[in-house]
Structure 1
Amino acid sequence: MLSAKRNTAIFFKVLLILGFVYFFWLMFSITLEYIPINPNVSFLMIKQTEVEQRPEYLYFFYTHVYTSILVLLSGFLAIIRKDFGLKNLHRNMGKVYIFLILLLAAPSGIYMGFFANGGLFSKISFVILGFSWWFSTFKAYQLARQKKFKEHKQWMWRSFAFTLSAITLRMWKVIIVYLFQPNPMDVYQIIAWLGWIPNILLIEYLITKKQI
């Protein structure tokens, strides 16, 4: 019985890693679209008003894009708590993750949230997401400094749930467009909330059940 449970746990862990690798590659491919810097490609094509009227917008945009892919990778390496034979890998990746979010990724994301597609409804969601991302990460950092590692781990999972919204938002977009083919702006309003709320609810459930 114990062997079966252990094998099941290993199976799901491997599945999780493979799933992350796949979606990380997709996100990395999206990031590559913005190298070299060009304000007339991909997502920026529908943000020309901001690009032309707000010189700072591109700085925040590229800061968010370039740091978020590193946040995704460092967060995953920190959250699985494995060093893979490299001394202090978990700890160092955690430091990179926290530093990038608190100083770069979350602040730039909050700024961009004020100009999100989909109107006020979407903007409110992305701004809340940005602040929640920053706060949960800061809380994880604070608890680590206080050596309250159980609580630190829980807040890191909360933070990573918000981090994963970059992936889940796009997953929901594909599903909704395929099933319902709604107006593009309606899609933004839906995925703005659907991209992160189920993530954090799942983590809260797992914490409540003492699975994290």
Structure 2
Amino acid sequence: MKSRSIQYFRIILWIGVYSLIITLLVSTGLRLSMLSDFRATHNWPSTSSIDYKYARYPIMTLAHIIPGALFILAGVFQFNRTFRNKHPGVHKRIGKFYLLLGCIIGITALIMGITFQFGGIVETIAVTLFGLFFLYSLIKAYYYAKKKNFMMHREWMIRGYSLGLAVATMRPIIGLFFALTDIAFSIFFGYVFWLAFIPHILVAEWWIHYTRKYRKQSLQNKRAT
């Protein structure tokens, strides 16, 4: 019965993951197009606009959003059990690339959140806390992979990937703020980080604890065979 419910929830989670991936890829494409237009036309956005921050620091922006998109796509292969079981060597190589991408986006997120933040101190605190926890999750995932403790490796990978996906959840939340409130973007933007990242952390922890006993039994069965 538990196995069936896990399959049911796994389907729901993957639907959510793919929806967020599409959201993030569309957002990345729009951001790249915007940067290209700014450079081509020299029609720079207002200094009070968040777009001005991205346009002013294009290299940092590109160093963050392109690895971010690749990180999210690489994660799909890393968490695909069929692919992982059929191609363990490829899984390992992609995993190293995945962790490198994660370190790049984590470090650039910290730099951007501290040096040219748009949402004030609320954004800076959120980016610092979640950015450090994201990097910590990747380090722990790598550590347990080297120790061949794949149970713990999986759990820390889930935490890191969930935090990476939280950036996509920010998009619809921002849309809701614009649609339902008159609050200035610069005021609510910092709070959006908290509204997106905290639910992702909670869902990740719920899934980890919900599947832990099942995964432990599965690993024991594999060792027995």
Query: In which range does the TM-score fall when normalised by the shorter chain?
Result: 0.7 to 0.9
Deviation sequence 1:157-204 (CA, Å, 0-9, x none): 111121111112223223343333432123202112112112112222
**Structure 2 counterparts to residues 66-145 of structure 1, below 5 A:** 66-83=66-83, 87-88=87-88, 89-102=90-103, 104-114=104-114, 115-145=116-146
Higher RCO (CA 8 Å, separation ≥ 6 residues)? 2
Q: Higher mean Cα deviation, 171-180 or 197-206?
A: 171-180
Alignment TM-score, normalising by the size of structure 1: 0.80
Matched residue type, 2:190: Q
User: 1:100–1:11: structure 2 CA closer, same or farther, 3 Å change rule?
Assistant: same
Map of 1:48 onto structure 2: 52
- Does the 8 A contact of 2:78 with 2:84 survive in 1? no
**Structure 2 counterparts to residues 166-181 of structure 1, below 5 A:** 166-181=167-182
SS in 2 for 1:64: helix
- Does the 8 A contact of 1:81 with 1:90 survive in 2? no
User: 1:122–1:77: structure 2 CA closer, same or farther, 3 Å change rule?
Assistant: same
1:12 deviates by 4.2
* Structure with bigger gyration radius: 2
Q: Higher mean Cα deviation, 146-155 or 183-192?
A: 183-192
- 1:50 and 1:16 map into 2 onto residues whose CA distance is 31
User: Aligned residue pairs: how many?
Assistant: 202
Deviation sequence 1:31-71 (CA, Å, 0-9, x none): 22305852738xx843436754xxxx322210111010010
Question: Which runs of no fewer than 5 residues in structure 2 stay unpaired?
Answer: 216-225
Map of 2:218 onto structure 1: none
Matched residue type, 1:48: Y
Map of 2:63 onto structure 1: 63
- 2:8 and 2:202 map into 1 onto residues whose CA distance is 24
Map of 1:165 onto structure 2: 166
- 2:203 and 2:14 map into 1 onto residues whose CA distance is 18
SS in 1 for 2:81: coil
SS in 1 for 2:93: helix
SS in 1 for 2:187: helix
CA RMSD of aligned residues (A): 2.9
Matched residue type, 1:79: F
SS in 1 for 2:38: coil
1:150 deviates by 0.9
- Does the 8 A contact of 1:118 with 1:185 survive in 2? yes
Alignment TM-score, normalising by the size of structure 2: 0.76
User: 1:130–1:32: structure 2 CA closer, same or farther, 3 Å change rule?
Assistant: same
From the two aligned structures, give the one with the greater helix fraction: 2
Question: Which runs of no fewer than 5 residues in structure 1 stay unpaired?
Answer: none
Map of 2:14 onto structure 1: 17
Percent of matched pairs sharing the same residue: 23
User: 1:5–1:206: structure 2 CA closer, same or farther, 3 Å change rule?
Assistant: closer
